[in-house]
Amino acid sequence: MTARVGVVTFPGTLDDRDTQRAVRAAGAEAVPLWHRDKDLHQVDAVVLPGGFSYGDYLRAGAISRFSPVMETVLEQARAGMPVLGICNGFQVLTETHLLPGAMLRNNHLHFLCRDQKLRVENAATAWTADYAPGQEISIPLKNIDGRYVADERTLDMLEAEGRVAFRYATAGPAADGYGNPNGSLRDIAGITNEAGNVVGLMPHPEHAVEPLIGTGRTDGLGFFTSILKKLVGA
């Protein structure tokens, strides 16, 4: 048997088909989920992909958070189902308060698309077990509202509990993808909940799963192989 990984499509979701491809590339079964449908169709994990759900009108992720499908996702996530939020999906997760903090407009005020170096800080979550702690990976970043913020107390708590999952790697030249791209506090690129089943990050692992496509790297595949191994114990 293999694992069934649901990929939610909201109106305005863009990376749903890419994410399904990444799930399949890792060897799992990709199950499309529709925002109006509360039923998760027996999936074992859920990915909220990137895009501009509801046009990012009002605030990124603010409207999607009230979709029927999110009621079930929220309930299941609290019960331990692995959930990954990528970019807009991460914004939805913070809107639901499954993850703390929020994303503000990039400090340079522009949309930025580039190949970004990240450091894996927590390799013990459901979505990062195939990486080594401290490992540097390079995956695409593309957003305009990507600056992670939270109050000092929350940031300290995240650090103390090891819940910073990814940081923007800064020990190298910008031409090689190093540097904090948007002013995110403490260089945070992604975080996890206490239990480690819910992970959100701004960069896009699903765009780095094939050697020829996009950046030419496959550094993002580990997210999807991690979850497959966890679910089927392979």
Q: Which residues bind another protein (CB under 8 A)?
A: 11-12, 14-15, 17-18, 21-22, 51-52, 54-57, 110-114, 140, 142, 144, 175, 204, 206-207, 209-210, 212-215
Pair 122, 128: CB distance under 8 Å: yes
Which residue among the candidates 87, 95, 121, 207 is catalytic per the annotation?
Answer: 87
> Which residue, 70 or 158, has its beta carbon nearer to another protein?
70
> Is 204 marked active-site?
yes
Residue 214 CB, shortest distance to another protein, in Å, is: 5
- Strands, DSSP E only, in the chain? 4-9, 29-34, 45-48, 83-86, 102-104, 112-120, 136-143, 147-149, 164-168, 188-192, 198-201
> Which residue, 3 or 60, has its beta carbon nearer to another protein?
60
Which residue among the candidates 35, 95, 121, 204 is catalytic per the annotation?
Answer: 204
The one-letter code for the residue type at 201 is L
> Is 206 marked active-site?
yes
> Which residue, 51 or 61, has its beta carbon nearer to another protein?
51
Residue 165 CB, shortest distance to another protein, in Å, is: 21
Tokens linked to 6: 């649901």
Pick from 53, 118, 126, 114: nearest CA to 87: 53
> Which residue, 4 or 204, has its beta carbon nearer to another protein?
204
Residue 193 CB, shortest distance to another protein, in Å, is: 27
Q: Tokens 């945070």 belong to which residue?
A: 188
> Which residue, 158 or 208, has its beta carbon nearer to another protein?
208
Strands 102-104, 83-86: pairing kind: unpaired
Burial 73-94 (b: 16+ CB within 10 A, else e): bbebbeeebbbbbbbbbbbbbb
Cα 65 to Cα 18, 35, 83, 129, distances in angstroms: 21, 10, 14, 27
Q: How far apart are CA 201 and CA 93, in angstroms?
A: 10
Residue 198 CB, shortest distance to another protein, in Å, is: 24
Which residue among the candidates 35, 95, 121, 206 is catalytic per the annotation?
Answer: 206
Active site residues: 87, 204, 206
